[in-house]
């Protein structure tokens, strides 16, 4: 039985050593440590070091992480990861939840409840976002990215393009990309 530790940070300016220290302070002697620098939006399968770690785990090994989100992007991803670890007979410990083995029956119950709460939280975030956007529209706010050009500049671009001026020349004149010029002069075509 080996003890594996895994940490994840989002940016290169961060370090996973704090997570390793937290795991060791909880009484686990980490024999194998893996960590990724990748956004929390990446699925577990997309994390290079996590993939390597999964290839090394054997039955009766212990995987310890500091927080539940280290095991996946969202509730379904975390649940799938833990299920696959359970099939391997790997004990999964998340310090944030206490020293509960998430592959045990009690751990599975805890995960099901957490997944339900996480799903509800995501739904509430979507509802709040939609309500905020609707309110902003009702108040007359313009949503989306600001235009790079004025209506007058766009009209001049269309006129110049119609007079056989090149897309590159128009892009240079207005300090924008060729793609932006094409969006103005050929709005119905896909770029």
pLDDT in tens, the chain (191 residues): 899 999 998 888 888 999 999 999 999 999 999 999 987 777 888 889 999 999 999 999 999 999 888 888 777 888 888 888 889 999 999 898 887 778 788 888 887 787 777 778 778 888 999 999 999 999 999 888 888 899 999 999 999 999 999 999 999 999 999 999 999 998 776 54
DSSP code string of 13-39: TS-THHHHHHHHHTT---SEEEEEE--
Cα 37 to the center of its chain, rounded Å: 12
The H or E element spanning position 46 is: none
Distance CA 156, CA 177 (A): 16
Q: Quick count: other Cβ atoms within 10 Å of Cβ 129?
A: 10
Buried b (16+ CB within 10 A) or exposed e, 90-101: bbbbbbeeeebb
End-to-end CA distance of the chain: 56
Q: What predicted TM-score, i.e. pTM, was given to this entire model? A: 0.60
The answer to whether 168 is a known catalytic residue is: no
- Catalytic residue, from 10, 104, 168, 177: name it: 10
Nearest to 51 by CA among 36, 73, 32: 36
Distance CA 15, CA 37 (A): 8
127-138 confidence digits (pLDDT tens): 999 999 999 999
DSSP code string of 99-155: S-BTTSHHHHHHHHHHHHHHHHHHHHHHHHHHHHHHHHHHTTPPPSSPPSS-HHHHH
The H or E element spanning position 80 is: helix 75-87
CATH of domain 3-103: 3.40.50.1390
């Amino acid at each position: 039985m080996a003890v594996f530790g895994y940490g994840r940070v989002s940016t290169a300016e961060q370090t996973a050593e704090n997570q390793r220290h937290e795991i060791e302070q909880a009484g686990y002697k980490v024999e194998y440590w893996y960590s990724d620098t990748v956004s929390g939006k990446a699925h577990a399968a997309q994390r290079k070091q996590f993939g390597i770690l999964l290839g090394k785990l054997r039955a009766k090994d212990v995987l310890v992480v500091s927080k539940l989100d280290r095991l996946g992007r969202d509730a379904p991803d975390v649940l799938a990861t833990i299920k696959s670890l359970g099939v391997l007979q790997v004990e999964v410990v998340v310090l944030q939840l206490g020293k509960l083995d998430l592959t045990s029956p009690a751990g599975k119950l805890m995960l099901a409840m957490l997944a339900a709460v996480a799903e509800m939280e995501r739904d509430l975030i979507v509802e709040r976002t939609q309500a905020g956007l609707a309110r902003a529209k009702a108040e007359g706010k313009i949503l989306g990215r600001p235009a790079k050009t004025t209506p007058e500049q766009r009209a001049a671009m269309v006129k110049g393009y119609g007079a056989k001026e090149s897309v590159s020349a128009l892009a240079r004149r207005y300090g924008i990309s060729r793609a932006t010029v094409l969006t103005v002069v050929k709005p119905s075509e896909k770029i």
